[in-house]
Amino acid sequence: MSLTSALSSAMSGIRAVSRGSEVVSGNIANANTAGYVRRTLSVSSDSGGGAVGVRINGITRHVDQQIINDRRLAEAETGYRSETAAALTRIEDLVGTPDNPASLAARISDFEQSLITASSRPDAAERLTAAAFAAKDLAQSINSVAQGIQDARTQADHSINTQVKRLNDALKGVETLNARIVASNVNDIDLPALEDQRQQFIDEISEMVPVRTIPRDRGAVSLYSVGGAILLEGQAVEVGFEPANLVTPYESIDDGTLSGLTLNGISVNTSSANGRLHGGTLGAQFEIRDEIAPKAQLQIDAVARDLIERFEDSTVDPTLGVGDAGLFTDANNPMDPAAEVGLASRLSLNALVDPDQGGETWRMRDGLGATTPGEAGDATLLIALTDVLETTRPQASGQFGSAPLSLKDVVVSMSSQIGTERLRADRQMSFAAAQFAELQQVELAAGVDTDVEIQNLMILEQAYAANARVISTVDEMFDMILRI
């Protein structure tokens, strides 16, 4: 080997050591950086053209794509289960459990107790007033449950809009990075950083919509949802959504009053059973808005209907005529079965007995249709009103089965159904979270080990010293030759 060849070889070794030190330093500095992937410098022997030395082939990112894919799917499942479980918990809190003094069942008990108290002293105006206000509190509690359900739907709609914007931005980000990666040289120092940025965008997408990554030529990737929708194949799709300012009980995706999703202008299914983008936080919000909350709305409307119909019966209050509204009303109107949707939001105490609307509470004792006060000691109607709460009757709507139920039984059944669904969602969320945590640990175990990286720095230091020694020796030999 000539002196120039030795010098060239040592210089190439110095360059490789310098580049390797940069890579190792970057690994140590980014050991805790989210989305960062461990790199190593790929080198080989270079003997082309008579030169001998070290060839830098590029920087290798060490990733286990299968682990990353599994971790993304687990993260999407965790987000989906977390969102749906939170929605069910919120609805359960609105209805309340029977042992909760602020629950709907407790309001019924309070109303029943106020009627019993009033029937023991029907001549006491303060007891009649207390019974009227207990009835009003019950109606307002049902109003509050219905309003809370609609608030959950409205918030879900707003969340969908926000996530769609993020999704479009992230897809465009992947498209842009694909183009830059394809245009980069394999030795480009920025290439691993571009791939890290792309991985972070894909992680963000997969949290909202679980995706599968398909490698393409020259480092590009394509993205498909687990449901089979094309999200990025060369170019990113445009996800469309029209938000609603306020979601009401009368709006649904089925009748077109609420927006679904479009991909490049083409509508896609968003249901939990067959949704093309289902499984992440975006799909969870559609399930809350279009399935979980409407089901709860159906049940609370059925409770309101049962309450109204119980007190519209002329056998309970003989002063009621055909078509007259009873103690509880649909915004001061009698019950109309064809207008049950949203009934819980419109439920109110009959203005004839509501002190806040100028009503007379003696009608609780003498009948809504009475024109003048009757016998002050007659508790017949108050007893009948108490009994009707405990009367079992089949439900005309809702999902309560065919068995006759009292009003409290209806509410307890609703609370039990929601609680069962919430417990099931909690179990599924716990399983998904445990799986996600485990896969995170597996992914981190394959990441940067600072102890190993420091050892690599020591090896690079030795290589630098050896190459520097060669350069020093060649320099001395050149000096000797020049002195001859």
Do 107 and 138 form a contact (C-beta atoms < 8 A)? yes
Give residues with Cβ within 8 angstroms of 327, minimum separation 6.
Answer: 135, 311, 317, 349, 350, 353, 364, 368, 385
Q: Which two tokens stand for residue 483?
A: 């002195």
- Which amino acid does the sequence have at 150? Q
Question: Do 3 and 477 touch, CB atoms closer than 8 A?
Answer: yes
**What is the DSSP pairing of strand 239-240 with strand 235-236?**
unpaired
C-alpha to C-alpha distance for 141 and 94, rounded to whole angstroms? 9
Residue with tokens 């309450």: 307
What would the DSSP string read from start to end of 183-194? HS-TT-TTHHHH
N- to C-terminal Cα distance for the chain? Answer: 21
Degrees, nearest 5: CA angle 379-307-131: 40
**Confidence (pLDDT) at 244:** 94
Beta partners for residue 61, in sequence order: 39
Largest interatomic CA distance in the chain: 139
C-alpha distances in Å from residue 477, one per residue of 463, 473, 483: 21, 6, 10
Contacts (Cβ under 8 Å, ≥6 apart) of 278: 227, 270, 271, 272, 286, 287
Task: Report the pLDDT value the prediction gives residue 84, as an integer from 0 to 100.
Answer: 96
Q: What is the pLDDT along the chain (484 residues), one digit of tens a residue?
A: 577 777 878 888 888 888 888 888 887 887 777 778 788 888 888 766 555 778 877 777 777 788 888 999 999 999 999 999 999 999 999 999 878 888 999 999 999 999 999 999 999 999 999 999 999 999 999 999 999 999 999 999 999 999 999 999 999 999 999 999 998 865 566 788 888 899 999 999 999 999 999 999 988 999 999 999 999 999 999 999 999 989 999 999 999 999 999 999 999 999 998 899 999 999 999 999 999 999 999 999 999 999 999 999 999 999 998 889 999 999 999 999 999 999 999 999 999 999 999 999 999 999 999 989 999 999 999 999 999 999 999 999 999 988 999 999 999 999 999 999 999 999 999 999 999 999 888 877 777 778 887 888 888 888 888 888 888 888 788 888 888 7
Dig out the tokens for 343 from the structure.
């009934």
In the block, which residue shows the tokens 């064809």?
Answer: 338
Sign of the dihedral through C-alpha 217, 223, 229, 231: negative
Q: What is the DSSP letter of 348?
A: E
Q: What is the DSSP letter of 288?
A: I
Q: Which helix (H) or strand (E) holds 443?
A: helix 407-445
Domain ranges of the chain: 3-62+448-483, 69-436
Closest alpha carbon to 348 in 320, 328, 367: 328
212 three-class SS: strand
Residue type, 242: E
Q: What gap in Å lies between CA 334 and CA 299, rounded to an integer? A: 20
Q: What is the DSSP letter of 332?
A: T
Contact 471, 14 (CB under 8 A): yes
**Phi/psi zone of residue 277: left (φ > 0), alpha (ψ -120 to 50 degrees), beta?**
alpha
In the chain, the amino acid numbered 272 is S
Number of Cβ within a 10 Å radius of residue 465? 11
Helices then strands, counting H and E runs in the chain, come out as 12, 11
- Dig out the tokens for 351 from the structure: 């203005």
